[in-house]
Amino acid sequence: MSLLKAENIHKRYGKEEVLRGVSLELERGETMVVIGPSGTGKSTFLRCINQLTPPDKGRVWLDGVEVTHPKCNINRLRAQMGFVFQDFNLFSHLNTLRNVSIGLIKVKGIRKEDARKLAMKELERVGLDDKIDAYPAQLSGGQQQRVSIARALAMEPKLILFDEPTSALDPELIGEVLEVMIKLAKDGMTMLVVTHEMGFARAVADEIVFMEHGVVVEQGNPQQMFSAPEHPRTGEFLNKITELYGETE
């Protein structure tokens, strides 16, 4: 049984149909990278998975539990899915340590001292254990994004959804975030990543999904997708994006 299964997801904003029946399956420990032109519904799709944006139609299962079921405990299920935002969305009034531990304390009901230890462990993992007292406004973009990854990790999620995690960063700060993500992927974390970083995709993706106009055009392993895509649009897009962003990690 796959860890995450999305079936026939539809979402419409007013007249525009952003998602027109997207289906995906993700195995435990797998890293899936979703690529595609802007405005294709990639971010909307991620939000449909953890119900931050409930889909109009379609169903989602996490580890066999239906997330889209009207009677499910959505808060509990969301806590099992990490989400990393493009613009970090750290809690401005809390320092680094509290940003990571607040979910443990308020959502999981873990005692303060224990939550602190767990948060420290995750901050070590992203290389920020020396910044625990700093507030978000005192950190660089790259550091903020690493804190937000630690915040997601601390909840011990079954998978993490990444919504263009490096798009809001200055070029010289992208590397430190990708490094953390590559390490996570290699440690066996299940990840669904929307990104334009082809270097990252090539390095760790088990599967690449090309989305356009609200549908999945093509999906396959990186080798096949990069060297011999079946669909002409996939090749076109990959060429353009590689030119634009390069392949550096």
Partner 1 sequence: MVFDVTWLPQLTQGLLLTLQITTTCIAMGIVLGILLALGRVYGNRLISTPCSIYIQIFRGTPLLVQLLMVYYGLPSWGIYPSAFVSGVLALGLNTGAYQAEYLRGAIQAVKQGQLMAARAIGMSLPQAIRYIVLPQAFRIVIPSWSNELILMVKYSSIVFSVTLLDLMGVGKRIAARNFRYFEVFVVVALFYLVLVFIISQLLRLLEHRARIPGLGEHAEQR
| Binding of residue 203 to partner 1 (CB under 8 A) | no
CB of 93 to partner 1, least distance (A): 5
**79 touching partner 1, by CB under 8 A:** yes
Closer to partner 1 by Cβ: residue 8 or 73: 73
Sign of dihedral through CA atoms 42, 43, 46, 52? negative
**Residues, the chain, total?**
249
- Closest distance between partner 1 and the C-beta of residue 226, in Å? 32
Q: Is 107 in the site for partner 1 (CB under 8 A)?
A: yes
Among 120, 134, 215, 216, binds partner 1 (CB under 8 A): 134
Task: Choose which of 1, 92, 113, 243 interacts with partner 1 (CB under 8 A).
Answer: 92
Tell me the closest approach of the beta carbon of residue 8 to partner 1, in angstroms: 23
- Residue 182 in the binding site for partner 1 (CB under 8 A): no
Verify binding: residue 152, partner 1, rule CB under 8 A: yes
117 CB contacts (<8 Å, ≥6 apart)? none
Give the whole-angstrom CA distance, residue 162 versus residue 59.
Answer: 20
Q: How far apart are CA 222 and CA 198, in angstroms?
A: 10
User: Residue 209 is encoded by which pair of tokens?
Assistant: 């999904």
Interatomic CA distance for residues 201 and 222, integer angstroms: 7
> CA angle at residue 150 from 146 to 152, to 5 degrees?
115
Residue from the set 54, 69, 76, 124 that interacts with partner 1 by CB under 8 A: 76
Closest CA to 122 of 106, 146, 89: 146
Chain positions contacting partner 1, by CB under 8 A: 50, 52, 75-76, 78-83, 85, 87, 89-93, 95, 102-103, 106-108, 134-138, 141, 148, 151-152, 155
